[in-house]
Every structure is written in C-alpha cells, then in structure tokens.
Amino acid sequence: MRLNAFLARAGVASRRRADELIKAGRVSVNGETGQLNTVVGARDRVEVDGQEVQRQRLRYVLLHKPAGVVTTARDPQGRPTVVALVPGEPRVVPVGRLDADTTGALLLTNDGQLAHRLGHPRYGVEKTYVAEIEGDADEETLQRLRDGVELGDGVSAPARARRLGRGRVELVLHEGRKHQVKRMLAAVGHPVARLHRSAYAGLTLGGLEPGACRELEPFEVEALRTG
C-alpha cells in the first residue's frame, strides 16, 4: 500500500497530512527516507521522526454468510453487508465474493497481501460448493462438469463433481469467475436453486450458524500463508 495510505490507516495522519510529512522528509521506510510513491508491505519498518509506527493488528475472520447479504463494504441499494456482520476492530474486508443469495464460508481480513494472493487465479484456492439444482445430475452430467463446460468466457477448468443426493451436487473448483457455479450448472441443463459454499481454502464452517463468525486460529492463518 502507498505510504500515505499506510500512515492514514495507522492513525498517524490524514492522507493529505501524511503527504506533507513525507515531503518534509520526516518519514523513513527501513531506514531510507520515504517518497510519495513509496509502497510499503507487512514487513517494512516505518518511522515518523524516528519513532516506529505501530501497524494495525492483522485480523482473519471466517463468516458464515447468510442469504440476502451482499459481499461488498457498502451497497448502493442499502442492503446489509458482510462487513457489518463482523463486529470489532480492526475492520476487515471480504476476500473474493459470494452472490447475495449464496450462503457459506467467506474469509474477511485486513491483510492485503494475503487477500491479494488468495484472490489471484494463479494461486487457485480450493472452493467447495453444494448446489441444489433443478432436476437430478447423472454420471454423464457430472463428467461434463469435471471435464469443463463452455461458459461464454471460455471453458471452465477441470473440477471435482459428485452427486450428494437427489438434486444435490458438490463442486470443487480452483477458479472463481463471476457466477461460475450457477453458470456451469445452467450450462449442463440444471439451473441452481440454492447455492452454499461449504469450504474455502480448507476452512470449513464447523458449527458456525448463518450470520456468525469466528477469528481464525494461528495455525489456520499459517496454512493459508503457506497454502
């Protein structure tokens, strides 16, 4: 993040005032005088007038997203947001997106570096979805889902797919295109009636009720980092 944003986040000064501090040469990053275009990450040491700036505690939260809640920080239509469901400080933001009507595992964090990595297609985080569909999926349909289906913006990557019961399938994906599960199932003739994400990057909901959240354990954060 830009140095002025870092200082603003840490509560040192507004962005504009931070720019003034930087221009005045009062801010250093790892011992070097900071510039307006200096970018700082989680491991950099930032000082103002020789005093180290305490960074925000990094926070990682798993939310059981309920239906009807949007995965953005603010909604122009005034619908409730996932951010508002996570009490306490510092504020965290969602990693990736679930549709408003999709329920399930959603990670929120203020660790921008980790969020960027997890959201990057190259990293290929594993996501498990359970879909209730119209009709029932036979073996041929499941195989098409595994092999990849044409979605209009390219063929979906190989996935795992299995039937859980009548009208219920589980899909395990490593990509995250917009409305991907709904589009994949619609493409094989089984529109989704309900969609739930049961796992994200190895994190499962356990006993978390819809709308409830919990802080991750240190070993869980470590697993996300080393993934």
* Positions in the binding site for ligand URA (CB under 6 A): 98-99, 102, 179-182, 195
Residue 26 or 179 with smaller CB distance to ligand URA: 179
99, 136, 138, 153: the active-site residue:
99
Least distance (Å) between residue 52 CB and ligand URA: 41
Is 75 designated active site?
Answer: no
Whole-number Å distance between alpha carbons of 195 and 168? 10
**What values do phi and psi take at 217, rounded to 5?**
-80, 155
Least distance (Å) between residue 59 CB and ligand URA: 23
Least distance (Å) between residue 129 CB and ligand URA: 6
Pick from 201, 184, 202, 182: nearest CA to 192: 182
Least distance (Å) between residue 110 CB and ligand URA: 23
Residue 185 or 224 with smaller CB distance to ligand URA: 185
Whole-number Å distance between alpha carbons of 124 and 131? 21
Rg (CA), the chain: 21
45 residue type, one letter: R
Residue 23: C-alpha distances to residues 16, 20, 27, 28, 35 (Å):
11, 5, 8, 11, 7
- Region of residue 206 (phi > 0: left; psi between -120 and 50: alpha; otherwise: beta): left
Residue 38 or 102 with smaller CB distance to ligand URA: 102
Residue 3 or 159 with smaller CB distance to ligand URA: 159
User: Which residues are known to be catalytic?
Assistant: 99
